[in-house]
Amino acid sequence: METPQFGLSTLSRLGLGCEQLGGTDWGKFDIQQAMQTVRHASDCGINVFDTADVYGLGSSEELLSRSLGQNRKRAFIISKCGIRWEAAKHGRARTFRDASAAYVTQAVESSLRRLRLETISAYLVHWPDPKTPIAETIEALESCRQAGKIRFIGVSNFSANQLQDASTAARLDFAEVRYNLLEREAETRLFPLCRQLGIAVAVYGPLAQGLLSGKYDSDSRFGSDDRRHRLPQFQPQALERNLKTVRRLQMVGRRIGYSPAQVAISWILAHPAVSCVIAGAKSPQQLMENAGALKGKLQTRDRAYLNGEIENL
Ligand SMILES: NC(=O)c1ccc[n+]([C@@H]2O[C@H](COP(=O)([O-])OP(=O)(O)OC[C@H]3O[C@@H](n4cnc5c(N)ncnc54)[C@H](OP(=O)(O)O)[C@@H]3O)[C@@H](O)[C@H]2O)c1
């Protein structure tokens, strides 16, 4: 497994997304299997685990820590704050953005407690908060770093302009960015800026929430407890368009002996700005399939075909 250096740590190029561990809004879910997936990842040398305080309203952080046991101290855990929640008796919790210094400082303490750690490897602002000046948020994170509670700091879902602003307040280590074959906006400004500023990029949503695995088609239906019933890429018109990309993944996969998910992840890993791909997985089988992408079999012609630059492989 190729392992780029990251400060004192060595990151695996594939990380495990642990939002699913929170157990909400992802449809059918087996908690034991999800915990087993975390342990399996750790046993296989995957050391990057991505979570957030709001995932499962704290339960993703707690279960990640429990699943890893003592290995949690050696793992590179990325967590995030900046979305507050009010639990509801019925239905989904109410969430709202708050990246104020007071809330960030409190959120770091709560994450440390749930993760049962003295220091979190990386802590990010989950989403920009329009009500809080970016400098206030970043300075609060920087104070936590100075106090030894966080090792690396960063942002998630920031535009290039927001990232530029944030980077004037303190040295940023990380940007978490949504990026996949269907969503490539980051290529234009964000990725070049990250490279220029020396900020590591962790990509999330590499499979467009499972769509690029090739197992969904226009007959697929999702329940109201599964976010995919409302996500734009699964709506009928967009889905028809997106399935053409899936067919290209399948074509390339057949040529090189990869599954569509492996091709989709490989395509991202080939981008020079990307340090790590965070893929969600609900089972050890999915995790192992995704890890197969690390062999990196894609050739220039495969990438050109996936990019739509040529019509035939
Ligand atoms: N920073 C942020 O704002 C942000 C936002 C979202 C997510 N994230 C992080 O990124 C992680 C990954 O993103 P994501 O979970 O949204 O999307 P994703 O990685 O694109 O898709 C994950 C889903 O795809 C399916 N899947 C995974 N591997 C598969 C395989 N080999 N074959 C078939 N299906 C497979 C699974 O769902 P099914 O089996 O149900 O299809 C899985 O839950 C999250 O867990 C979270 O840690 C961060």
CA dihedral 259, 264, 269, 271 (to 10 degrees): 140
Beta bridge partner(s), residue 150: 120
Instruction: Give residue 14 CA to ligand 1 midpoint distance, Å.
Output: 12
- pLDDT at residue number 259: 98
Report the residue among 67, 174, 209, 276 best suited for mutation to probe ligand 1: largest number of ligand atoms under 8 A from its CB.
Answer: 209
By residue count, the chain amounts to 313
Instruction: Say if ligand 1 is within 6 A of residue 25 CB.
Output: no
Please report, for residues 78, 98, 193, 235, the alpha-carbon distance to residue 138 in angstroms, rounded to integers and kept in the order given: 16, 13, 18, 37
Alpha-carbon gap, residue 146 to 140, rounded angstroms:
10
Local structure of 66: helix, strand or coil: helix
Instruction: Say if ligand 1 is within 6 A of residue 124 CB.
Output: no
Whether the Cβ atoms of residue 291 and residue 302 lie closer than 8 Å to each other: no
Nearest to 282 by CA among 290, 271, 274: 290
- Which ligand 1 atom is at minimum distance from the Cα of 206? 20
CA dihedral 83, 95, 29, 240 (to 10 degrees): -90
Alpha-carbon gap, residue 153 to 79, rounded angstroms:
10
Local structure of 90: helix, strand or coil: coil
DSSP H helices in 116-235: 134-146, 160-169, 190-197
Instruction: Give residue 253 CA to ligand 1 midpoint distance, Å.
Output: 20
Q: Whose CA is nearest to atom 38 of ligand 1?
A: 210
Please report, for residues 71, 118, 289, the alpha-carbon distance to residue 42 in angstroms, rounded to integers and kept in the order given: 8, 20, 15
Verdict on whether the full-model pTM lies above 0.85: yes
Determine whether 305 is an active site residue: no
Whether the Cβ atoms of residue 54 and residue 126 lie closer than 8 Å to each other: yes
* Token pair in block for residue 170: 């303190």
Instruction: Give residue 8 CA to ligand 1 midpoint distance, Å.
Output: 28
pLDDT tens track, the chain, 313 positions:
334 445 545 899 999 999 988 878 888 788 899 999 999 999 999 999 999 999 999 999 999 999 999 999 999 999 999 999 998 877 788 999 999 999 999 999 999 999 999 999 999 999 999 999 999 999 999 999 999 999 999 999 999 999 999 999 999 999 999 999 999 999 999 999 999 999 999 999 999 999 999 999 999 898 888 889 999 999 999 999 999 999 999 999 999 999 999 999 999 999 999 999 999 999 999 999 999 999 988 999 999 999 999 999 9
Instruction: Give residue 103 CA to ligand 1 midpoint distance, Å.
Output: 28
Phi, psi of 51 (to 5 degrees): -140, -175
Alpha-carbon gap, residue 287 to 46, rounded angstroms:
10
Nearest to 156 by CA among 134, 126, 136, 179: 126
Whether the Cβ atoms of residue 105 and residue 143 lie closer than 8 Å to each other: yes
In the chain, the amino acid numbered 192 is: P
